[in-house]
Amino acid sequence: MESQSSSRVELPLSFVNAHIDVLVQLIADMLDRLMSHNDRIPLLPESLTRFHSRSAPGISVLDYLKRIVKFTKVEKSCLLITLHYIDKICTRTPLFTLSSLTCHRFIIASITVSSKGLCDVFCNNSLYAKVGGISVSELNTLEREFLSMIDWRLTCTYELLQEYYVNLVRTHSSGMYVIVGSTENSEDSDVEVDSTSRTPSLHEPSAIFADPSSATSETRRPTIEQNMAFAALRNQQQDSN
C-alpha cells in the first residue's frame, strides 16, 4: 500500500489548474479504452460517416493530442469539451461510433470547432488541417458535419467539464493520479456521484457493462460517462478484493 501511494501523482482540485500535459494523458487514456471497446463492434455500411478513414492512422491518440497541443496551443477547456461532444453525438446519432477509424478526425474537428466558438484566439483551418494531417477541404467538410451533429450547441458549463476531469482522474487505467483535497481520495469513502448530476452513479453502471467481454452490436456505443462509471466500479471492486 505504501509503494502504491508513493507512486501516485497529485493533481489540483480544478482542471483549470492542472497541467495541460496531464489532461492530454487522461483524455488519451479514456479514448484508448473507448476505442478498444468500439473496435470490437462490426462496422455496418449504415454506420459509415465522414469521420471514417479507410485504415487507422499510424499515430496514437496520445501523440496526436500532444501534436495538437504543441502547434495550436489549444486551451484546456477545448480538450475536455471533446468528451462532452462525444456524449452529445452518441446520443443524437446512435449509429456513430468513436473508434480507431474515426477518433483522429473527430478530435481535430472538435478542437477546430471548440477553439473558434469558445476562445478569443484560435488558428485558421489551414493550420488545424496541417496539424491534423488532412486537407483543408476535408477539414472544412468535417467542421460542417460536426456542427450539424452537435446541433451547433458548442458550450457547456464549467461544472460539467469539472465532472469529466474528476472522472478521468478516478478511472485512469494506471490508478496513478489522485486529486488533492478531494473527499473521494479517502480509502473509506464511498465512491458515488450525486444522482442529480449527468455522470451516472458508480454503483449503478449501465446494464450493457455487466460483462465488457460480451459486447455485441446490440450492446454498443457506450458514452464517455458510462465508460468512466464502469471503469471506476471495476477498480473499486478490485480494491475491495
More confident residue, 41 or 190: 41
List strand residue ranges (DSSP E) for 50-159, in order: none
d(Cα 174, Cα 62) in Å, to the nearest integer?
A: 15
For 40-96, the pLDDT digits (tens) are: 988 888 888 889 998 899 999 999 999 999 999 999 999 999 999 999 998 888 888
At 144, list the grid cell.
460542417
At 109, list the grid cell.
474537428
The CA dihedral of 12, 17, 23, 24, to the nearest 10 degrees, is -140
d(Cα 201, Cα 145) in Å, to the nearest integer?
A: 32
Number of Cβ within a 10 Å radius of residue 53 = 14
The answer, yes or no, to whether residue 211 has pLDDT greater than 90, is no
| DSSP H or E run through 10 | strand 9-11
d(Cα 150, Cα 17) in Å, to the nearest integer?
A: 28
pLDDT band at 240 (very low <50, low <70, confident <90, very high): low
Q: Residue 39 carries which side chain, given as an amino acid letter?
A: D
Q: Do the beta carbons of residue 30 and residue 36 sit within 8 Å?
A: no
d(Cα 85, Cα 106) in Å, to the nearest integer?
A: 10
At 86, list the grid cell.
462525444
This prediction's pTM: 0.76
pLDDT band at 212 (very low <50, low <70, confident <90, very high): very low
Number of Cβ within a 10 Å radius of residue 31 = 26
Q: Do the beta carbons of residue 115 and residue 59 sit within 8 Å?
A: no
The answer, yes or no, to whether residue 153 has pLDDT greater than 70, is yes
